[in-house]
Structure 1
């Protein structure tokens, strides 16, 4: 198996093994989920053809205590038979003769035989979970001789012989242990099978003979007249009940109330219960009392009377709402399918996106399972798929964490290797420069041939290695106390940069309805400005309509803006509204307005002036109220002078003018824009310091749009190599070459500072001259330059000052000396000499913050030299 398929295959195997090995616990969880489904669904109406009659503890006490004499049961059967019920099922076992009152046993048997509608209950002492052959004696009540897969029971407890012979049917009342709502529809006993008690009651109520019951295709069918009642069962002969609610949802009466009502009715008095309401009903008789009745757990009640189980079975049979549970046949394939789909997503999308989509699909599946449960009684598995997803998600998180650790470790190793080479080159350069200075200081000393060339070669190598180190370190934006950045209507900018005035102007003019002309190079964000003006205006909740005037011919543009009538030209098969009509009450943005012809400008002038126009092919004048925002990347003033743009239209459009600076003129915004676009691609991504240097050097002819495209390209390439750090190799050759083809930013900054004699305002002025670079960036570069010259001058401050200031006068040297003393003094403030760099470096992290990465190894040497006592 290829390595690419090994991990997905391993995941699927692990999930499959989990589902098989944890089948029992998962089934327990499925039952808990089923209980939750009932809670969400709530109670539903039980079938009204079913009535429960019961004895409670008070009734039993009033009738002489337990066990009740059997003449009461005989009387109850007689009353119910006279009330024309269709069946009477006793969920009470009459197992032994009553030796004290044998006449009552005879009376009960005679009444039962005379009724012809009584069904009695029985039970098996042992009901194995699996089918096994038994040698139990055949009994008269068994039927359905061919039921493969059904359970076999032993120790069948029947009513006493005379009563059993008088009954119209006998069924077992056993339930499946450990499975809520599961009932064995039939249990094998000898050559035949004993039906479930509720099933036998239903058969008697419908008047169906045993040989008329049909079993095929996993369903038992009972037919009466035009009605067909079907009871589904699984391969073990088990049916799954759908509980309508607690016992209270069934129509219930106390048995003693029935008997009293009968007596009152015989005496000509008004009964408390109208016995005629029982006509045509199925009656279940049982005991509901604490300590007297068998209770089981249901989704609605932890102590659900067993007679409620029989009532639930009959309700399901009459309404056709038994549950159907596919079980492991569906659970395992569905879980594997879910994990397989998640694996497919994780291989194509970001981790968080894939996780979110899969979790959402699982949530939708959960809603679907609730819907199928409520609507059709289909119990789709949920615990298995959820556990599979959680197992996979845990594995995916650990795998992603491992991959990140591996990538970070590789980058850290590369960084340490590059830093080690860089330090070796810097120390060698320091030694060469010291040697050269020593020779020159001797009387008549001269430098050897090639010394200067070797020093220059080492400086180039140091510069290359420094770039390599920076390319392995994430860029951290410089934070300034007095300024900050922000996002305004989708526009990212530095608060102290050139966009600040533009943003303030947009805020001022947005509240009016005056026309606006947006000027700027292609890719500077003119449409964003138009949208911002619209959103902030009173028209912000109305339509914003965009039209690119340069993308259409004059004829098509006229039809697009003003609309046309049917038949006005070839292809005009119906009337069409123009963009001005769509923009009525809102704003219309006319991009590339300079590309329109003079003839079209005349037509446009009219609608700009009065809001009136005619559709193409129509003589009816329409009027709209739309604010017009136009944009162009050309100078309309020059076009007006060249007679290529109408002067009157220009002044109509140019009520307010918003001039957007090119990206090369607002370099302070580049770090913020880059970070913004990187976050849009993937919040976990970042750019290296070298990438930012390249972005700052590049002239950006395509402006912000080109920067966004560059980051999208770089993010795709980095993602393909499982990296979260965008490096120089991810950029286009054109951008990379900007680093090679231009003067290094360090040299530019130092040259400008020298020209300004390191004055108080020189940092700010230098930042402005470098295209609006962040003032903090320039200050940090100068701090690094000071450390670099201090290192190369072998800790000689006078040589350092001379090297930084160049051929300057005493005033410039004093300013450099002041800054140098401030910078190096601040670095070692509070640091005790005699300790190692490794001991003190953790406490000096703030000294490295914001310092360009290229100077970090030099700062290490500055601190190490101080600790070794080489400078004070």
Structure 2
């Protein structure tokens, strides 16, 4: 077993480094972990949707319009005094001013007295304070100094709360600060608690509410409401009212799951709502969850054996997401999501790199089919040289057996050389190839055709294109249009043979409403649509005489009538017609109007079939191959077969064959199209491949115990495993082709009339099937996808082309397992 064969055997250093790197990031790099944790919480919030805040919380916001209307910032404190006065009249529960009212200037001091008077009348009033030098020491928050608002400096009985918070992977607010033995609650705690306490816990704000969910009024709206005492009491009575600034030019904003700009007043309003509803985030399980997640990932790493065993991913990741979502949204418990996500990404990346490395190693260390065939060719050439010398020494009467061996070797070598060409990509000179409006060519005959097109296209004459079906007549017609003065107008193509006479007339000339059954609306004809442009009439030789009369009129005068109409219409249209028939013969047989023929045959262009321009096949093939898959190329042997084919369907048939070949080559993950990818009717020579070589050699040795080793030596001393795995694939293929009949498959594989040889092959087939059945019985599941993921060892060395047959055999055997 190779060093990189299974994920569980990844070198220890790779596993250790990937996990160590993940642990370092999780434990010591707060930047990436905070980003991941915030991203996860935002996703959960968006899935759950915005909650509704407590109905007792009402905000009075000072926005940009308020500031412009009431003067400059800061506002006169008389406005706060007026607001507090009106709120007291409304019978509010509590009032909080989330604006730090500094001592200010003498000008402001005039209004401080008014505000102080109103505050003293209010029993439940909270002002905003600030601390400087906030830090966390000895498991508690401290600060250098406390800054109180000017009303509290004058009256120490006024209640206040600090506005400070810490921002990292969220917003943390110290519920209580002690500075110089002075105790200061947070602004939200002061509004929520009736009495101070010594609880120094951190409140992590849960932003489960959008800014738009809060009940709020601008300051001007509030003053307008205050003019109606009843309405004022209805809206603000018994409420907790917070007054603050929402203008982003003044107030700090943050980004949340629901809002790009969430105002500072909203932070403290949300914190208050968290306290009232007990919805603040419980972050105390982060350390425990980090340890648990890292242990799970470690277990996860050793449990999954290979990159294909995704059931643990499919089970573990959704379980993690569902559990995390439930804890966060329903219980407000936050865990360290990054402790799961980062190690998972690192481990998965290590697995993927290992998978690529293992795949590359298998490809580089194993011998490809092409290499084996080359080795077989070389071995047979050496053997032929030896036999030829032996034959030359016996010139008088050479043994017939020796002569036969030499002839057989020459034949086999010839076939192997053809196969060698099937492994080598064809290279051609791109410089001589021309692409004329989709018409690919390099032959002289096509250069002459293109030259005629270039000469007649600028004229306005009618053109008749003749040539077999699929030769590219419509491409020529389009080129004529594109090179004419009509190129900016419509090019309209219609196949005259595809429609009945009635439908063709309606399609070309149009019809009026009610002209015939189902004519529910007026319709424009192709001639009308092609006005000032070009119309291409393909298969013109298939039209009826009655239709030809009407077409002749259009060509002569440009006049036509819609079906069911009396009015005559006119269209300025250039006509390009095409046919795969001999119109001159049809004229003689009275099947095509002579006058119409002469009208159409102003300029005649003959488009030769593909068999008359063989040198164009190679560039056309390469054009179609690159069109289907840029990475694909075609072998010399396959190209030779395509060039030698007659192509009765011309370019259209060739394109279909190339599409088929590209699909087959891509399915086997090859970058070269081989003879095997072409239809059997095109490939005229015998195909020599590894399957045929191995099977022929084993048959010669009558499937003896030493036949595998002898065949491996005969094919250039290759690995015994390559021969045995190819033979296993041959068994699966023939067993499937024989409709899962062991006797029939054994007969096909052995191709022998000897019963003992057939029995040897039959025994081999039964052994392979018994091994599969034995492993199937150990499986609890009967789902093919799950079984296949556990059967990776059975597919590992089996050539890719036989995987389909093993799939079908497993499915067949699953159905036979008793339920």
* Shorter-chain TM-score range: 0.5 to 0.7
How much has 1:448 moved relative to structure 2?
4.0
- What is aligned with 2:455? 508
The answer (yes or no) to whether the contact 2:22–2:346 under 8 Å persists in 1 is no
Q: Does residue 1:476 correspond to 2:426, yes or no?
A: yes
Counterpart in 2 of 1:716? 663
CA RMSD between the two structures: 5.7
Residue of structure 1 aligned with 2:65, choices 48, 59, 79:
48
Match of 1:829? none
Residue-by-residue CA offset, 1:780-826 (whole Å, 9 max, x unaligned): xxxxxxxxxxxxxxxxxxxxxxxxxxxxxxxxxxxxxxxxxxxxxxx
Q: Is the 8 A contact 2:426 2:639 kept in 1?
A: no
CA contact (8 A) 1:121 1:170 kept: yes
Q: Note the 1:321-360 alignment, pairs <5 A.
A: none
Q: Tell me if 1:703 matches 2:653.
A: no
- Please name the residue that 1:114 is paired with: 117
Structure 1 residue 658: Cα displacement: 2.1
Q: CA deviation at 1:184?
A: 5.4
Q: Is contact 1:675–1:686 with CA below 8 Å preserved after alignment?
A: yes
Structure-1-length-normalised TM-score: 0.49
Q: Does residue 1:174 correspond to 2:164, yes or no?
A: yes
Does 1:577 find its partner at 2:524?
yes
State the partner residue of 1:194.
Answer: 186
What secondary structure does 1:733 align onto? coil
> Is 1:421 equivalent to 2:376 in the alignment?
yes
The equivalent position to 1:561 in structure 2, one of 503, 508, 513, is: 508
| Structure 1 CA distance for aligned equivalents of residues 469 and 360 of structure 2 | 39
C-alpha deviation, 1:119, in angstroms: 3.5
- Cα deviation for residue 696 of structure 1 reads 1.9
Give how far 1:386 is off: 14
Q: CA deviation at 1:697?
A: 2.4
Cα distance in 1 for residues equivalent to 2:245 and 2:112: 35
Q: 1:462 aligns with which of 381, 392, 413?
A: 413
Contact 1:550 1:596 in 2 (8 A): yes
Whether the 8 Å contact between 2:625 and 2:658 is mirrored in structure 1 is yes
| Alpha-carbon distance in structure 2 between the residues aligned to 1:229 and 1:406 | 76
**Which of 655, 670, 674 is the matching residue for 2:602?**
655
Distance change in 2, residues 1:90/1:419 (3 Å):
closer
CA distance in 2, matches of 1:430, 1:542: 71
Q: Map of 1:609-758 to 2, 5 A cutoff?
A: 609-736=556-683, 738-740=684-686
The CA distance in 2 between the partners of 1:725 and 1:222, in whole Å, is: 70
Q: In structure 2, the residue corresponding to 1:567 is in which secondary structure?
A: coil
Secondary structure class of the residue paired with 1:459 = helix
Distance 2:254 2:668 in 1: 55
Structure 2 stretches of 5 or more lacking a match?
A: 1-5, 8-17, 40-61, 87-95, 120-124, 193-206, 226-230, 237-241, 270-280, 284-307, 309-336, 688-819
Tell me if structure 1 keeps the 8 A contact 2:421–2:637: yes
Determine if contact 1:697/1:739 at 8 Å carries over to the other structure.
no
CA contact (8 A) 2:187 2:268 kept: no
CA distance in 2, matches of 1:630, 1:710: 28
Shift of 1:405: 7.7
Tell me the secondary structure at the aligned position of residue 729 of structure 1. helix
Counterparts in 2 of 1:107 and 1:509: CA distance versus 1, 3 Å: closer
Q: Which residue of 1 aligns with 2:400?
A: 449
Q: CA deviation at 1:580?
A: 0.6
Q: Secondary structure at the match of 2:488?
A: coil
CA deviations 1:618-644 (Å, max 9, x no partner) are 121111011111112222222222222
* TM-aligned CA distance change 1:184 to 1:438, over 3 Å: closer
Measured after TM superposition, the shift of residue 433 of structure 1 is: 4.2
Tell me the equivalent position of 1:490.
Answer: 438
CA contact (8 A) 2:126 2:187 kept: no
1:519 to 454, 461, 466: 466
Q: 1:297 to 1:727 in 2, by over 3 A?
A: same
C-alpha separation in 1, matches of 2:476 and 2:558? 23
> Structure 1 residues 415, 90: CA separation in 2 closer, same or farther (over 3 Å shift)?
closer
Once residues 579 and 23 of structure 2 are traced to their aligned partners in structure 1, the CA distance between those partners, rounded to angstroms, is 64
Q: 1:121 to 1:653 in 2, by over 3 A?
A: same
TM-aligned CA deviation for residue 549 of structure 1: 0.6
> Counterpart of 2:167 in 1: which secondary structure?
coil
- Tell me if the contact between 1:614 and 1:621 (Cα under 8 Å) persists in the aligned partners: yes
Relative to structure 1, the CA distance from residue 18 to residue 29 in structure 2 (aligned partners, 3 Å threshold; closer, same or farther) is same
**Which residue of 1 is the match for residue 477 of structure 2?**
530
What TM-score comes out, normalization by structure 2 length? 0.52
Question: What is the CA-CA distance between 1:518 and the residue it aligns to?
Answer: 1.6
Q: How far apart are residue 419 of structure 1 and its match?
A: 1.2
SS at match of 2:664: helix
Give a deviation string over 1:275-305, Cα, whole Å, max 9, x none. Answer: xxxxxxxxx9xxxxxxxxxxx9999xxxxxx
Question: Equivalent residue of 2:129, what SS?
Answer: strand
Measured in 1, the distance between the counterparts of 2:479 and 2:341 equals 46
Asked if the contact 1:198–1:311 (Cα under 8 Å) also holds between the matched residues in 2, the reply is no
Change (3 A) 1:533 1:107: closer
Please state how far the C-alpha of 1:528 moved relative to its aligned partner: 1.4
State how many pairs are aligned: 519
Q: Contact between 2:78 and 2:112, CA under 8 Å: does it hold in 1?
A: no
| Partner Cα separation in structure 2 for residue 187 and residue 729 of structure 1 | 77
Compute the displacement of 1:720 (Å).
2.0
CA contact (8 A) 1:185 1:195 kept: no
Q: Give CA deviations for 1:564-606 in whole Å, capped at 9, x if unaligned.
A: 1222222222221111111111111111111111221111111
Residues 586 and 627 in structure 1, CA contact (< 8 A), matched pair in contact too: yes
Distance 1:637 1:617 in 2: 33
Shift of 1:711: 1.6
Distance 1:162 1:556, change over 3 A: closer
Matches within 5 A, 1:41-440: 47-50=64-67, 91=100, 113-114=116-117, 116=119, 119-123=127-131, 157=146, 159=148, 163=153, 165=155, 170-178=160-168, 187=175, 194-195=186-187, 221=215, 225=225, 249-250=249-250, 312-314=263-265, 413-437=368-392, 440=395
Check 1:610–1:489 CA distance in 2 against 1; reply closer, same or farther (3 A cut). same
Aligned partners of 1:107, 1:599: CA distance in 2, in Å? Answer: 105
Residue 91 of structure 1: SS of its match in structure 2? Answer: coil
Q: CA deviation at 1:467?
A: 2.2
8 Å contact kept, 1:436–1:447: yes
Which stretches in structure 1 are left out of the alignment for 5+ residues? 1-5, 8-13, 34-44, 56-72, 95-102, 135-151, 201-214, 231-238, 251-283, 285-295, 300-308, 319-325, 329-346, 348-380, 742-872
Relative to structure 1, the CA distance from residue 108 to residue 561 in structure 2 (aligned partners, 3 Å threshold; closer, same or farther) is: closer
Q: Write the distance in 1 (CA, Å) between the matches of 2:420 and 2:471.
A: 33
**Contact kept? 2:160, 2:190, Cα under 8 Å:** no
Check conservation: 2:129, 2:146, Cα contact below 8 A: no
Residue 107 and residue 528 in structure 1: after superposition, are their counterparts in 2 closer, same or farther (change >3 A)? closer
Change (3 A) 1:391 1:623: farther
Measure the CA separation in 1 of the matches of 2:625 and 2:161. 72
> Per-residue displacement from partner, 1:635-683 (whole Å, max 9, x unpaired)?
2222222222122212211222222222222222222122211111111
The separation in 2 between residues aligned to 1:657 and 1:170, in whole angstroms, is 99
For 1:573 and 1:53, how far apart are their aligned partners in 2? Answer: 70
Task: Tell whether the 8 Å contact from 2:491 to 2:534 is kept in structure 1 after alignment.
Answer: yes
Structure 1 CA distance for aligned equivalents of residues 388 and 80 of structure 2: 119
SS in 2 for 1:723: coil
Structure 1's 559 and 110: CA in aligned 2 closer, same or farther, altered over 3 A? Answer: closer
Aligned partner of residue 48 in structure 1, secondary structure? helix
Instruction: Sort the Cα spacing of 1:128 and 1:405 in 2 relative to 1 into closer, same or farther, 3 A.
Output: same
